[in-house]
Structure 1
Amino acid sequence: MRRRSFILFLGVVLIITILSNLFIGCRNGKQAAKDGFEEMWQGVITLWDFPRWPDKNGNRFGWIEKKIA
């Protein structure tokens, strides 16, 4: 009897979780459809990093330039 009530409790929690996710997901999708597009972000990205050894050309930022390119 104790095991049956535990399984029933888990089933109810699972159903509530699934239904709440469906309602929340549907509401956000409709709002995104109204907007139509997203503006491009423009801003400054600040990197806090320790100094690197310079490469052959004396550039200390080669590590990030490789990731950007």
Structure 2
Amino acid sequence: MAQQGPDVAGTDWIDELSDEQCMEIFWLYVSPPEPFLQAYPPKLLGQAMRFALREVAASQKESSTGA
């Protein structure tokens, strides 16, 4: 499993994203976005997106270092 949290270098910006900014990211990738965004509270969507972004960042770091 990928390393979680602020210990992964270069992920500080992820924790600075607001819930609304995270919802905008979901809007780009979910089709149609409205039913999905209306089905869940902004705080939950924000937590989910920040988690996903940290996972992607950690997996990219692992693949670049061969860990």
> Do the two structures share a fold, i.e. TM-score over 0.5?
no
Structure with more helix by fraction: 2
Larger-Rg structure: 1
Query: Normalising by the residue count of structure 2, what TM-score does the alignment of the two structures yield?
Result: 0.38
Higher RCO (CA-CA < 8 Å; seq separation 6+): 2
What TM-score comes out, normalization by structure 1 length? 0.37
